[in-house]
């Protein structure tokens, strides 16, 4: 019996990475006077690290830290935190300005879950303010009242660790085996499956070529025949079953 429907945010609710988060990061770098700009290709590589603060730290480790942060002291942590706060403000402005649309089928599937009185959650490694803005603005206040957001640093270990999905199950007092997750990346897929949950993958701009072999269902978007009945059937079919789609 299906007990909950859980979404990732970036790439699932909205295809945000290339024209949302990347743009906001670059604007934050420019505002801070840093001669740094992430290309589409570079940001794609950084996406293999979950979390915006973690991506910046990885990039600085690999390409060099700004001169003002020589050494490994707290100044580096402050730089990361301040950049991320500014980036979040810039990203939220993009969302609130309607620059990025909701992905096909998302609102319909949320409405079906709400009509069936199923808990709906969003579990993301992104900043909680940014995720809540996506939910509030793009899904609207009526849906947002029924959606619980788990995001940012709410857990110590980020995806592919299953901690955030296990926290959602624990919060709602659910059996993970009765939850269906919608993800778009291999990292998120591994987190969902490690939590013991069924997982639908909706491929996004940056994840088209990733390995989704262990997914229960793979589609280009949720309009490809995905409804609440599909989700329920996944809970009775093995991951290698006939619902796989290329």
**CATH at residue 222:** 3.40.50.1000
Taking 90 as the threshold, does the pLDDT of residue 14 lie above it?
yes
Taking 80 as the threshold, does the pLDDT of residue 172 lie above it?
yes
What pLDDT, in 10s, does the model give residues 129-158? Answer: 889 999 999 999 999 999 999 998 899 999
In a domain, 106, yes or no: yes
| pLDDT, average across residues 103-127 | 96
In a domain, 244, yes or no: no
**Is 111 among the residues known to form the active site?**
no
| pLDDT, average across residues 26-41 | 95
Count how many domains the chain has: 2
CA distance 134 to 97: 11
Residue 212's domain spans which residues? 4-15+101-234
3-state secondary structure 178-207: HEEEEECCHHHHHHHHHCCCEEEEECCCCC
Q: Which is the catalytic residue, given 8, 15, 184, 216?
A: 8
Per-residue pLDDT band for 243 (boundaries 50, 70, 90) equals: very low
Between residues 69 and 228, the one the model is more confident about:
228
User: pTM of the predicted model, to two decimals?
Assistant: 0.84
In a domain, 187, yes or no: yes
In a domain, 131, yes or no: yes
Q: Which of 182, 184, 97, 105 is nearest to 137 (CA)?
A: 97
Give the CATH number of the domain where residue 50 resides: 1.10.150.240
pLDDT, position 73 = 55
pLDDT, position 57 = 95
pLDDT, position 127 = 87
Q: Which is the catalytic residue, given 10, 15, 161, 216?
A: 10
| Last-in-domain residue among 51, 78, 96 | 96
CA distance 206 to 184: 9
**Average pLDDT of every residue of the chain:** 91
| pLDDT, average across residues 65-73 | 64
Helix (H) or strand (E) holding 4: strand 4-7
DSSP 21-87: IHHHHHHHHHHTT------HHHHHHHTTS-SHHHHHHHHHHHH---GGG-SSSHHHHHHHHHHHHHH
**Is 8 among the residues known to form the active site?**
yes
Greatest CA separation for the chain: 56
């Amino acid at each position: 019996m299906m007990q909950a429907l859980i979404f990732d945010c970036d790439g699932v609710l909205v295809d945000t990475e290339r024209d949302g988060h990347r743009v906001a990061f670059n604007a934050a770098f420019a505002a801070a006077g840093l001669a740094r700009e992430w290309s589409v290709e570079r940001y794609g590589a950084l996406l293999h690290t979950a979390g915006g603060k973690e991506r910046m730290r990885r990039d600085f480790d690999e390409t060099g830290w700004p001169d003002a942060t020589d050494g490994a002291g707290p100044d580096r942590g402050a730089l990361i935190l301040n950049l991320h706060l500014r980036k979040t403000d810039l990203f939220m402005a993009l969302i609130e300005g309607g620059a990025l649309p909701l992905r096909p089928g998302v609102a319909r599937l949320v409405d079906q879950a709400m009509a069936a009185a199923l808990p709906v959650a969003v579990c993301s490694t992104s900043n909680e303010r940014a995720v809540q803005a996506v939910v509030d603005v793009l899904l609207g206040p009526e849906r947002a009242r029924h959606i619980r957001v788990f995001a940012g640093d709410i857990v110590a270990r980020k995806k592919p660790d299953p901690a955030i999905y296990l926290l959602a199950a624990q919060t709602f007092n659910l059996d993970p085996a009765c939850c269906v997750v919608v993800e778009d990346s291999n990292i998120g897929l591994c987190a969902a499956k490690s939590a013991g949950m069924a997982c639908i993958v909706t491929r996004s701009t940056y994840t088209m070529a990733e390995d989704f072999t262990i997914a229960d269902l793979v589609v280009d978007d949720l309009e490809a025949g995905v409804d609440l009945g599909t989700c329920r059937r996944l809970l009775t079919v093995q991951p290698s079953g006939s619902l796989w789609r290329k």
